[in-house]
Structure 1
Amino acid sequence: MVEQQQATHDWSKFMFDQLYEGGIRIFAHIPDAGNDRLIHYAGQQDDTQVVLLTTEEEGIAICAGVDLAHQRGILCMQSSGLGNCVNYLSLVKAGKFPLLMMITMRGDYGEQNPWQYPMGAAVEDVLETMGVSIYKIEQASDVDVAVQGALHATAAGAQAAAIVVGQKFLGAKAF
């Protein structure tokens, strides 16, 4: 119950703490309101590194390099950026390295930008087609289970997992 209260109060801090305890030290990201607090917490630690990306697929290559250096990383991006990553996701299978992603959704609950709908509707299909395990967060009680599931899936190696944070949980953006 305490964990659920923490997740409800500040899910980003709760998620960061879980990721940190799970060995995640590299946080590659494209700036987004959905991941800004998580990235803020990562930037406050002396032994974590925040990597600002110019495009989402760079994060897959960075996470591959992190794995080769026997460390753990995460790629944080918005769902619209997943479309940029499809070809690079094939490298995860061929290279047999783990990939952990956090994807904040656009194009679903309460979306006001019609340009976000097509990719938002395709996210789960794209991830499944590329062999990525999906761990969804739709409410505060999902945070612990989703993060732990994704951490364990990627710790086993040679697997990709995505923590997909729903727009109903995040709140819809007005832009």
Structure 2
Amino acid sequence: MNTQAPSAPAWQQEIYQVLKAGNVKQVAYVPDAGHSHVIRSVIADPDIEDVVLTTEEEGVAVTSGAWLGGQRAVLLMQSSGVGNCVNMFSLLQSCRFPFFTLVTMRGEYAEFNPWQGPMGKQTQAALELMGITVFRADDPDAVGEIVSAGFDAAFEAGEQVAVLLSQSLIGRKKWERSNG
């Protein structure tokens, strides 16, 4: 009997490798299954501080504060969290802080939850309206390159960048009912 956890897909491993190679010192997140490999990897890495948030807009402040303190930080969130951050994104524009976020998408491919649809359909537009450059990853073979390009645009060129990880890339979610 194999009790070892299944290995994460290569594209998920590549995301963590980009963050590690880029000298990220803090990763802020609201727990999300789509980011689970990166979250587990960060928790296990003594060189990166994992910062669990109660709401995504706190992550904008965490990443900005990290930059002011001389560190690189990344925000992991789901597309529904982008709506929570819109007001805080003004901090990025006003202060011109570099910013990098990875966004797992909902409300797209085979979505079962109707509450995810509206924000999922407007995530890219909301980010762009707030001046954030958006890259999108749909192909597992291109994720590493897209994340690396977005990371460099943020931390080498000083831009505000979001990489959207498509719902088809992450896989289909299904509602599970408890029998209790």
TM-score by length of 2: 0.89
CA RMSD of aligned residues (A): 1.3
Moved over 4 A (4+): none
Is the 2:80–2:116 Cα contact (8 Å) retained in structure 1? yes
Residue identity over aligned pairs, in percent, reads 37
Structure 2 gap ranges (5+): 1-7, 176-180
Equivalence for 1:3: none
Is the 2:11–2:141 Cα contact (8 Å) retained in structure 1? no
User: Aligned equivalents of 1:65 and 1:146: distance in 2?
Assistant: 25
- What secondary structure sits across from 2:34 in the alignment? coil
Equivalence for 2:63: 63
- What secondary structure sits across from 1:51 in the alignment? strand
User: Aligned equivalents of 1:164 and 1:158: distance in 2?
Assistant: 19
User: Aligned equivalents of 1:132 and 1:10: distance in 2?
Assistant: 27
Equivalence for 2:140: 140
TM-score by length of 1: 0.92
Aligned pairs for 1:70-85 (under 5 A) are 70-85=70-85
Is the 1:93–1:158 Cα contact (8 Å) retained in structure 2? no
Q: Determine which structure has more spread, i.e. the larger CA radius of gyration.
A: 2
Deviation at 1:112, TM superposition (A): 0.6
Is the 1:24–1:71 Cα contact (8 Å) retained in structure 2? yes
Larger proportion of helix: 1
Which stretch of the first structure deviates more once superposed, 108-117 or 139-148? 139-148
Deviation at 1:161, TM superposition (A): 0.5
Equivalence for 2:23: 23
Pairs aligned (count): 168
Structure 1 gap ranges (5+): 1-7
Aligned pairs for 1:42-53 (under 5 A) are 42-53=42-53
